[in-house]
Every structure is written in C-alpha cells, then in structure tokens.
Amino acid sequence: MKLLPIGIQTFKDIIEGGFYYVDKTHFIPKLTSKYYFLSRPRRFGKSLFLDTLKEAFSSNKELSKGLYLHDNWNWEKRYPVITINFTSGVMSSSQLLKKNIHHILETNAKRYELNLEEKEVINIKFEELITKIYQKHNMPVVVLVDEYYKPILDAIENIEVARENREILKDFY
C-alpha cells in the first residue's frame, strides 16, 4: 500500500518515493500559451502543482510515467524555468524582502551560469535575468512564482511594512 505524501511538495520526491499522487497533469498542456494565476485555498496542492509544471517544462519525462502528461506533452522541448518561491524566511521588513528577491534572482542566474550586471533595481535585474536566459537558450522562459503573497502576510501586523512589501512586489512583478 502506498503512503500519503504528507508534507512533501516536490513532484520528484512523490513519484520516486512511490507515494500516492492524484494526477492533475491533464491541466498542464492547457497552461502553455498564456499567463495564469492559480488561486486556491491553503493546503490545496499549489506548490506541488508548480513543481510538477517545473518538471514538465524542464522535460523530465521519466517522472511522468503512468500519468496523463507522459503521452500528451512535447518532451523534445526543454524550456528554461525561473522559480521564485517566498516560502522560506520571514520578510517582516522591506529590506529583508529586497534581499530575498535579490538572492532568488542570483540563485536562478547561477543555475543558468549567468552573471547579472544589475545589482540594485529589482525589476531591472529580473528583466535582465529573463532576457539573458532567453538569449542563451533561444526558448521562451517559464516563470513560476510560489507564495507570492507571503511577504505581505509576514508583515500584516505592521500595516506600513505590509504596504511597502506590496509596493516592492508590484514593482517586481
């Protein structure tokens, strides 16, 4: 009998660990031509689904055996993926949020062996990252953002910081 993947949010760990997995991969081909905002309640599987998207766009076909996606996806195309995840740490100040965003962008740049020239302005740095990845791979860049609202929730007790964090995120996105 398979185990339930309680607390496991990575597609690879669930598949390779032999855990139960509810196949939602039939939604993935429908999400390839536009921008999408997925809003669901907490503990609804958003992070796992984003990780599943990452594996599909990264062309990790072996993980999809037995799933809808296996025979319904163009595995020849490997898209570069930028992952932005705000789950770690508490961003209780705008300075912490800015540092976190810079770290996330630099981590993605290192994964693609890129050096970013912009050091200060977050939205310009983000645009530079996307542009350089596109130029290097000549493929559209997939951007996956998880827990986009957490920096605002982390500061919800201090309304001024929450507003500052909201403005930083608005500018970033």
H or E stretch covering 85? strand 81-85
* C-alpha separations of 29 from 34, 44, 80, 92, 93 in Å: 11, 20, 17, 37, 38
Specify whether the CB–CB gap between 47 and 149 falls below 8 A.
Answer: no
Q: From start to end of 76-139, where are the E strands?
A: 81-85
State which residues of the chain have pLDDT below 70. Answer: 33, 41-43
pTM of the model: 0.87
* pLDDT tens digits for range 127-165: 999 999 999 999 999 999 998 889 999 999 999 999 999
pLDDT the model gives residue 43: 63
Q: Residue 139 phi/psi, 5° resolution? A: -140, 150
Task: Sketch the domain layout of the chain as residue ranges.
Answer: 1-78, 80-173
